[in-house]
Amino acid sequence: MRIYRMPSQYYASEPKAAITLALRNKMAIGDARQQVLFGLNDYLSSLALDELNSQASIGGISFSTGEDDGLVFNASGFTQRLPELLKKLVEGYATFQPNAQQLAQAKSWYLDRLEAAEKGKAFEQAIQPMQMLSQLPYTQREARRKLVNDITLKEVTDYRDALIRHATPEMMVVGNLSAERVTQLGKDLKQQLQSDGRDYWHSDYVVVDKASRADLQKAGSSTDSALAALYVPLGYSEYQSMANSTMLSQIVQPWFYNQLRTEEQLGYAVFAYQMPIGRQWGIGFLLQSNSKPPAYLLQRFQAFYPQAEQRLRSMKPEDFAQYQQAMINDLRQRPQTLDEEANRYNRDFNRQNFAFDTRDKAIEQIQQLTPAGLADFFHKAVLEQQGMAMISQVGGSHEGDSKEDYAQLPGFTRWDELSKLQQSLSVESDKP
């Protein structure tokens, strides 16, 4: 088992640690059925581990399970009982035996979750496609919904067993657990898991490697409408695009809010945001309106864009430097808790970047930003749409024909299913 141990740099005197045990397994959520099975297992395990969770919280320990290229266990708190509790947590997950009534309860919970995702606020529904596009593989909710009813108890427990048996375990410990105890914990878990995965691998991610313009339209569940737009330019590395998009979103957000919310009063949920597609970051805009349809909102977005570029190009160097330094100071800020310190390592651990240097590389790229370079990024992404341009339109429900509510986008491809848009993108994986 590959183990990473990082003593706390900020809370060395606290007898606490945060442990992440990842059971990497390419077949964990490889299709719609596996994704349903993972969700059902997640719910059933929470029932089975409820008593252990209560005992742990009394002792100042918290734990959770999740998914990231396989099953992930997280446990944090006081070190005295932490390793033993993690072993109990793994054992509880590996051995729970649900009954038919519990499975029916899990299925009802899973279906409720699917329905809730369809009934969210208009702006949440508009931004969902952007959030989901990077999750490989994305499967349509309707495909998952159709599978739920036929899943059996045996299928659930067989899947759970395979999730553990065919995994490659990795562990990260951040905090004040001695090297000897970490080593012993690794040995105990390896013996306990009996996982047969041996090859270390890197997760896949979608790639924007050509110009692509995507239009998604959906009828909303309320009278409100919403529009989300995301622009990811070509020609920038991960950390270059991360630095540019993060700074852009901070600078442009008050301009966007003031113009479309305060001046034009188009809506009450108004955001500029940064977001990646795979590992390439872009700048996005989002607005929910109770008075105007997506077609009108897009016109106002498009009127705002050249104004924003001009303001970026005319920004005073001292004002730009203020934004720049504020971002660097924020990234260098001391974590407020040991858990927050551990979270800084999690992103790199989960994407197998074992140099754990994302924060340092981001700061390095932010230091190199210039007003002209930032405006160029904005121009290439938003005005020229050199890379991925993604427009998500949610129409409000009302009487009469609503086709005119949606913007007609020449040069854009209309996608009825996000899964098919994802399949049109390239997929890459870092070499181990």
In 269-340, the DSSP E strands lie at 269-277, 280-289
Strands laid side by side in the 212-219 sheet:
269-277, 280-289, 225-232, 388-395, 212-219, 413-414
How far apart are the C-alpha atoms of 202 and 325, rounded to whole Å?
34
CA dihedral 251→252→257→260, nearest 10 degrees, is: 160
Q: Give CA–CA dist 121/228, Å, rounded.
A: 13
Across the chain, mean pLDDT equals 95
What's the length of the chain?
432
Q: Rounded mean pLDDT of 23-51?
A: 94
Residue type, 71: L
**Residue 29 reports pLDDT greater than 70:** yes
Note whether residue 200 is domain-resident. Answer: no
Distance CA 24, CA 198 (A): 10
pLDDT in the model for residue 430: 76
163 close to 334: Cβ distance less than 8 angstroms: no
Asked if 295 and 340 count as a contact pair (C-beta separation under 8 A), the reply is no
Report pLDDT digits (tens) over 112-137.
Answer: 999 999 889 999 999 999 999 999 99
pLDDT exceeds 80 at position 399 = no
262-302 pLDDT, tens per residue? 999 999 899 999 999 999 999 999 999 999 999 999 999 99
- Give residue 352's pLDDT: 84
Is 132 inside a domain boundary? yes
Domain membership flag for residue 203: no
177 and 212: one domain? no
Query: pLDDT per residue over 64-123, tens digit each?
Result: 999 988 999 999 999 999 999 999 999 999 999 999 999 999 999 999 999 999 889 999
Residue numbers of the domain that contains 296 = 208-429
Q: Is the pLDDT of residue 26 over 90?
A: no
Q: Do 301 and 380 share a domain, yes or no?
A: yes
Residues 171 and 35 in one domain: yes
Model pLDDT, residue 397: 78
Assess whether 144 and 13 both reside in one domain: yes
The answer to whether residue 400 scores a pLDDT higher than 50 is no
Per-position b or e across 198-217, b if 16+ CB within 10 A of its CB: eeebeeebbebeeebebbbb
| Rounded average pLDDT over 217-231 | 95
Given pLDDT bands bounded at 50, 70 and 90, which one contains residue 5?
very high
Q: Amino acid letter at 105?
A: Q
Q: What percent of the chain has pLDDT over 70?
A: 98
In a domain, 295, yes or no: yes
- 173 touches 22 (CB < 8 A): no
Q: What is the CATH number of the domain that holds 184?
A: 3.30.830.10
Q: Using one digit for the tens of pLDDT, what is the confidence trace for 171-185?
A: 999 999 999 999 999
* Rounded Cα–Cα distance for residues 73 and 20 (Å): 6
Any domain includes 201: no
Q: Assess if residue 31 is contained within a domain.
A: yes
**Positions of E strands within 375-430:** 388-395, 413-414, 426-429
Q: What is the DSSP letter of 96?
A: -
Angstrom distance (rounded) from CA 227 to CA 293: 9
397 in the same domain as 251:
yes
Looking at the structure, tell me whether residues 228 and 180 fall in a common domain: no
- Residue at which a domain ends, from 193, 216, 241: 193
Q: Does the pLDDT at position 261 exceed 80? A: yes
pLDDT at 68: 87
Judgement on whether residues 91 and 182 belong to the same structural domain of the protein: yes
Cα 408 off chain centre by: 30
Residue 94's pLDDT is: 96
Question: Three-state SS string across 375-387, please?
Answer: HHHHHHHHHCCCC
Q: What is the mean pLDDT of residues 186-209?
A: 90
Structural Rg of the chain based on CA atoms: 24
Region 371-399: mean pLDDT is 94
| Residue that terminates a domain, selected from 143, 165, 193 | 193
Do residue 187 and residue 221 come from a single domain? no
Q: Between the CA of residue 229 and those of 29, 35, 360, 404, what are the distances in Å? A: 28, 28, 29, 19
Considering the domain architecture, whether residues 143 and 278 belong to the same structural domain is answered as no
Number of domains into which the chain is organized: 2
* Residue that terminates a domain, selected from 129, 164, 193: 193
362 lies in the same domain as 261: yes
pLDDT band at 431 (very low <50, low <70, confident <90, very high): low
Same domain, 219 and 177: no
Instruction: Based on the fold, state whether residues 160 and 227 are members of the same structural domain.
Output: no
Q: Is the pTM of this model over 0.85?
A: yes
pLDDT at 310: 97
Average pLDDT over residues 402-406: 85
Q: Which of 315, 305, 300, 284 is nearest to 390 (CA)?
A: 284
